Each structure stands twice: as structure tokens, then as C-alpha cells.
Amino acid sequence: MYDPITVRPPETERDPIVRSFGMLSTFPPTPCGIATFAAALSAGLVAHGATVDVVRCGFAPALEDSLVAASLGDGSAASGALAVEALNATDVVIVQHEYGIYDGPDGDAVLGLMDAITARLVLIAHTVVSEPSPGQRSVLERACARADVVVVMTVTARDRLLAGFRVEPDKVIVIPHGAVTPPSSNVPVESSRSSVGDRDTGADARPRLLTWGLLGPGKGIEWAIDAFAELDDLDPAPTYVIAGATHPKVREEAGEGYREMLVKRAATSGSGSRISFDDSYRDLVSLTELIRSADVVVLPYDSDDQVTSGVLVDAVAAGRPVVSTAFPHAVELLASGAGIVVAQRDAPAMAAAIRSILIDPGRARAMAAEACRLAPNLSWAAVAARYDLVAAGLATGRVVRAVSP
């Protein structure tokens, strides 16, 4: 099987060479998962001793972050030339690939940018669909052909990429998605709550379920609400926090219809008084505290095509038991016992899985312990070190592989 842990420098050997990275991506304050990923990876690389210059996709009124060197702006030739100049001044350019963040059909504008970059190129493929459209297939294949290294974040994504796209196998390596950790620590987050079943009675002692992330159709939260309504008989009765604003693109195209549907569904479920919606912005510290407050993280996504999930990795790194639908990343990461996987859109199965954790403290502790065992290799510090090792290999003409028997 493929082993992503092989892209990892020995703990006693730290390369003294300071490398410079370019980063082509969306970037905060843009509210999207790719932006969050790019910011966390950039911070991890800087902490590892590298320098990072970010070229932000899209227009930004001001380059307020100190790492942002340029912006693609309005897509003009002038802004594109400045962006390429900034990237070519670095040793290695990391291109975040997601179809929706670049201009043109299926984001094909990224191809012209990649062709103009003379630095070594690492492409991170965030989405590898099982049934791509002709345009999606062409764009990803051409982007992979231009890159020196193609990074995917799960074994499933690598298998799917090699089986369904014309990509040179030796280019493709696996480096896992990084995880949120406390600002001054790379160790797993300990729960700020007692173990399930070991609390005093009272409102504060109620088990807490948590789902977080940008909202929109396909998140499957309606099924989690239905599942939650089947847990009314538990004593103490659990609460459920649904945290996150509506995704900006969803809000632009369809308004707040999905969120309003969820609020109505919660109100009519009979358990609405114990379901809360929180759309406030959360920085790293407040997000960490939110995760620490949960007894069970619920990922009810509708898609069975999702090969990476930052929310899943953050939950596991925080040592939280997870109940997830069977999307590929969850099936892979939770296989050793850090969570329970159920079918999509199956509220009774989801309810049964959540119940089994809430009524069995021993099982909850075992799942949390397995999550904590997995956590160190998922920290952004560990992940950034692997990208730096790949860059070191490129500098010497040697690509570090993430594949082992």
C-alpha cells in the first residue's frame, strides 16, 4: 500500500538551507477551504525555516497579509505578469489546484500561469473526481504534465488519479492534509470536556455533537438533524452545534435557502431547542476551542466522491470521535478505529453510530485514543516538513517518493 509517512525528514536531521516557496492559491480573508489550507501550509513552512511569497487568486483590495506578494487581481495581463514575476523569484512554486478558483472553463486559466513559471512546480490536486467531464479531465491532466511533482492527500486520491487520468505515476506522491493544532503546540488537542458518561448532571454536562464548515447543499446536515431527533431518549439529552456561514458562492447564487431549510427542519424535528446554529467567524484559537468542546464530530456529507476533508483531519487531530458518511477520505482515515463510517443519507444508521459512542464511555475513549495516535503525523508542522523535503529533492534533481510497498 502507499505510505504517506515516508515523506518525512528524520527528526535528527534538519536541512540548514533556507528555501523560498511561491504559493499560488486563494488566501484569507477569502472564506474557502483552499485559502485556509494555503495559509496553514504557508505558516508551517515559515515555522520550518522557509520563506513564502503568496500570489492570491482573484481580486483583493489590499495585500494586507505580509506573505501576499501579488494578486491575480482582475485577470489582466499586467496583474498576471506581476504574479508570475513574484513566483519565478522563488525556488519552488506550490500551485493549489481546485477547478473553481481559477478563471476560464474548468479553471483552465491556471495552465497559462503554469506555463509561464520557470521555477520548479509542485501541484496539489485537491479534487480528483471519479467521473470528470472532458474539460475537467483535460485541465487536470495538462496541469499534472506541467508539474514536477503532483501531491494528493490520500491513497484513494492517488489511486483514482492514476486509474482515471493520464498522469505519469512517478510524479504522484501522497502527503496528508494538515490539521489545526493549538498555536504553540504540535501535540493532539486534549478535550476540554470530561469523557462521555463521566460527567455530573446538568445542562453543561450534556454530550455535545458538532458539525462545522461552510454550509451549502451536499453537506448533508439535514440528515444529521434527522438523526439527532432519534436521540431524545438519552439521559442527559445531547446538544448539537452546527457552526459555519453559508458558502459565499452558494449565497451569491441561491441566497440563504439551505441554511433556512436547516433551521426549519430543526424546529420541526422536535429537538430544535437543543440544536444551535453559529455563523460567527472563528480564528485558529476559537476554532480549536470549538473542536475541544465536542464529544462527537459529525460529518454527514452527501458526496461519496470527496477524497480530502480538512474538517475530518482537524477532528481526528483533536482526538475527537467521529461519525462520518462513507466518503473516501473518511473511509481511509477512520479505518483503524478513530471513528464510525455510515452510508450517505441514512439518518437511522447515523443515529445508531452516535448513540453507540454516547452510551459507551469505553468505546468513546478508545476512539479518542486512536485519533490521538494518528494526530502527530497530521500536524501542519509535520506536513510542512514533508513539502520542504520534496523541495530539497527537486533542488538536487531527486524527487522524494511517498510510495512504499
Percent of the chain with pLDDT over 90: 64
Q: What is the mean pLDDT of residues 132-141?
A: 95
- pLDDT tens digits, residue range 157-169? 999 999 999 999 9
Residue carrying the nine cell digits 464530530: 297
Phi/psi at 379 (5° precision) = -65, 150
The β-bridge partners of 210 are: 241, 297
296-299 β-sheet, strand order: 275-278, 239-243, 208-212, 296-299, 322-325, 339-342
**The predicted structure's pLDDT at residue 32:** 82
- pLDDT tens digits, residue range 336-358? 999 999 999 999 999 999 999 99
Q: What is the mean pLDDT of residues 192-206?
A: 50
Q: What is the rounded average pLDDT for all residues in the chain?
A: 86
> Is 173 a residue whose pLDDT tops 70?
yes
Q: How far apart are CA 103 and CA 106, in angstroms?
A: 8
186 confidence band (pLDDT: 50, 70, 90): very low
**The predicted structure's pLDDT at residue 76:** 72
**The predicted structure's pLDDT at residue 113:** 93
- pLDDT tens digits, residue range 302-317? 988 788 888 999 999 9
**Global pTM value:** 0.81
